[in-house]
Amino acid sequence: MIGGLFIYNHKGEVLISRVYRDDIGRNAVDAFRVNVIHARQQVRSPVTNIARTSFFHVKRSNIWLAAVTKQNVNAAMVFEFLYKMCDVMTAYFGKISEENIKNNFVLIYELLDEILDFGYPQNSETGALKTFITQQGIKSQTKEEQSQITSQVTGQIGWRREGIKYRRNELFLDVLESVNLLMSPQGQVLSAHVSGRVVMKSYLSGMPECKFGMNDKIVIDKQGKGTADETSKSGKQSIAIDDCTFHQCVRLSKFDSERSISFIPPDGEYELMRYRTTKDIILPFRVIPLVREVGRTKLEVKVVIKSNFKPSLLAQKIEVRIPTPLNTSGVQVICMKGKAKYKASENAIVWKIKRMAGMKESQISAEIELLPTNDKKKWARPPISMNFEVPFAPSGLKVRYLKVFEPKLNYSDHDVIKWVRYIGRSGIYETRC
C-alpha cells in the first residue's frame, strides 16, 4: 500500500513524483526533502516518520528513491519493491543517474504505472515488462501479440514467455559472496558472516525445467542416510545455510518437501537465490596490526596481511585502509608490495595491491607525525578495513549440479553449455587495532 513514490536528485529537487493514493499530498514531497535530504544531521535510518507519514528511501549514487505511505505497511516489502524498481530501471536504461532519469522520465512513469497499482506492487519482472513496455515508441501490435501478452502477464508463469528460441543453449551461473568480519587485535573473530547470491544468466529455448543442486548440509545428510560412505566423504564439504530466499520462479513446495530447487528460469539475467551463512567461514585474509605511540607527536603503525587460501588462486583488488588520527600532520609509508598513499581527505592510509597469491604475506609500516592539540579527547582508533576479491566462495558453497530438462524441444541436458564462476568479495572486513 505505497501511497506515492518520489525520486530526488542530490540537491533535493524532485525528478519523478507519482502519487498513488489521495492521503499523500504534495507537501509530502517537501517534507522528505526538508527532513531527510536537507537535514542538518545526516539521516541514517532508511525509514523516516514525518507527521504520521512514513518515508522509505534508498540511495543510488546521488539519487534518492523514496516510497511514502500513511498506512502500516510491511517495510520489507517496500524496500524489496524499491530495489526491484532500481533493477528494472537499470535493465531499461543502465546506470541510475540524474541524467538518465531526466532522459527517460516518460518511460519511468510508464513503468511506475505498470509495476505499482493503487500502491500494490505488480509484476516487476524485467523480462515480462520488456515485452510490452519498450523504448522504441509505440509499436502497433497485432491482435495475437496482444492476446499473447495478456495471457502471459496474467498466466501462471509470468516471468517467461513462450516460444523463445536459441541456437546455442547456454547458461551462466555466478556465485557471488561478500564476507563480513570484525576481528580483535589479538586475532579473535568477534563476528563473521557471509551473505551470498546465486545469479544466473540463461539463454535456453522453450520452457525448460531446471534443477539446481549445491552442497547444502541437509540435502547431503539426507542422501548420506542411504550411502554412509558418501557422508564421510563429503561431510566436510557440506555447508549449513542459515537462511535463504528464492526467486519467484522456484517451486517452494518442492523445496519445503524435498529441499530440491527446481524451476522454470526466466530469460536473461536474474538472481536465483540469496543466502547467509555464519559457520565455518574461510577468511581469505588475516590482518595483523601493530600500533605504537611514540610520545605525543609520533605514531608508528605496522600492518601485516596474510592470505589464507590455496596458493594456486589469486586474490585481486586488495585494498587496506589504515585510519590516521585527526591531528596527523605528515605520514611516511614503506611497503614491500603494492602502492600505499596517505589520503588526507579520508584521514587514512590506503594501501593497494593488485594481485596476491594464496599463502603469502606482505607488510606495510608507516610513521605518522602528529600535531599537538589542546584537545583532551583521545584518538578512538577506528578499525583497519580491507577490500578484496577472491575466486572462490568463502562460505564453502559448491554447485553440485544444474540439470536442464526440456521434453518438448529436442535438446537434452548435455547439449546445454554451462558456466560456473565463484567470486568472493569483502563486505565490511575490519580488524581492530
**Beta-bridge partner residues of 418:** 171
Site string for another protein, 59-98 (x = CB under 8 A): ---x------------------------------------
Say which amino acid occupies 374. N
**Stretches 102-110, 163-171, 354-362, 372-380: which one binds another protein (CB under 8 A)?**
372-380
Quote the least distance from Cβ 392 to another protein, whole Å.
33
Spatial distance between the Cα atoms of 192 and 384, rounded to a whole number of angstroms:
15
Q: How far apart are CA 65 and CA 56, in angstroms?
A: 8
Confirm or reject binding of residue 369 to another protein (CB under 8 A): yes
Location of C-alpha cell 516487476: 124
Angle at 210 between CA 127 and CA 235, to 5 degrees: 130
Q: Which is nearer to another protein, 152 or 328 (CB)?
A: 328
Q: Which of 357, 371, 409, 420 binds another protein (CB under 8 A)?
A: 371
Nearest C-alpha neighbor of 124 from the set 151, 75, 164, 84: 84
344 binds another protein (CB under 8 A): yes
Stretch (H or E) spanning 101 = helix 98-103
Residue 253 as a binder of another protein (CB under 8 A): the answer is no
In whole angstroms, how close is the CB of 28 to another protein at the nearest point?
23
Least CB distance to another protein at residue 426 (A): 21
Asked if residues 73 and 21 have their Cβ atoms less than 8 Å apart, the reply is no
Alpha-carbon 75 to chain mean position: 19
Asked if 333 and 364 touch (Cβ cutoff 8 Å), the reply is yes
Only one residue has cell 524532485, namely: 14
Gap between the Cα atoms of 222 and 38, Å rounded: 56
From 123-131, 215-223, 345-353, 382-390, give the range in contact with another protein by CB under 8 A. 345-353
Give whichever of 66 and 281 is closer to another protein, judged by the CB atom. Answer: 66
Q: How far is the CB of 346 from another protein (least distance, A)?
A: 7
345 binds another protein per the rule CB under 8 A = yes
Question: Of residues 144, 243, 256, 375, which one binds another protein by CB under 8 A?
Answer: 375
Asked if 373 interacts with another protein (CB under 8 A), we say yes
Query: Which residues here bind another protein, judged by CB under 8 A?
Result: 10, 42, 62, 326-330, 344-347, 369, 371-375
